[in-house]
């Protein structure tokens, strides 16, 4: 399983992220990440934004597992509670990313 994560936005507009591949992780760590990802309830690709809030964080998550892949984008107001543990895990592994122009 491969998971790509980018967190952007918020008041400061910071950009952080990570790319994790369970094949390169210790077996216990890989199993933990797969369990968290499978429990997240993220099964359908899409973009889900709140229309009424500003300065929210945005979470771009792509999960590739074998031949299937989903890509989702949520903000703080629309992130499902079932996906919070996955976002927490990914935030722990995220590092600052450079801002690009265009």
Q: How far, in whole angstroms, is CA 42 from its chain's centroid? A: 10
pLDDT tens digits, 25-84? 999 999 999 999 999 999 999 999 988 777 789 999 999 999 999 999 999 999 999 999
Q: What are the C-alpha distances in Å from 75 to residues 32, 35, 78, 100?
A: 24, 23, 5, 21
Q: What's the pLDDT score for residue 81?
A: 97
Question: What gap in Å lies between CA 66 and CA 20, rounded to an integer?
Answer: 15
Domain segments of the chain as ranges: 2-96
Q: What's the pLDDT score for residue 51?
A: 83
Label residue 11 by pLDDT band (50, 70, 90): low
Beta bridge partners of residue 5, listed in sequence order? 18, 61
> Is the pLDDT assigned to residue 102 strictly greater than 60?
no
Q: What's the pLDDT score for residue 82?
A: 97
Q: What's the pLDDT score for residue 54?
A: 74
Mean pLDDT of 83-96: 97
8 Å CB contact between 72 and 47: yes
């Amino acid at each position: 399983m491969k998971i790509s994560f980018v967190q952007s936005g918020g008041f400061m507009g910071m950009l952080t992220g990570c790319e994790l591949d369970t094949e390169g992780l210790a077996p216990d760590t890989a199993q933990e990440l797969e369990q968290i990802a499978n429990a997240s309830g993220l099964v359908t690709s899409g973009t889900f934004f709140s229309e009424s809030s500003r300065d929210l964080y945005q979470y771009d998550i792509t999960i590739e597992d074998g031949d299937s892949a989903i890509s989702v984008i949520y903000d703080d107001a629309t992130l499902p509670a079932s996906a919070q543990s996955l976002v927490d895990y990914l935030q722990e592994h995220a590092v600052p990313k450079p801002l690009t122009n265009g």
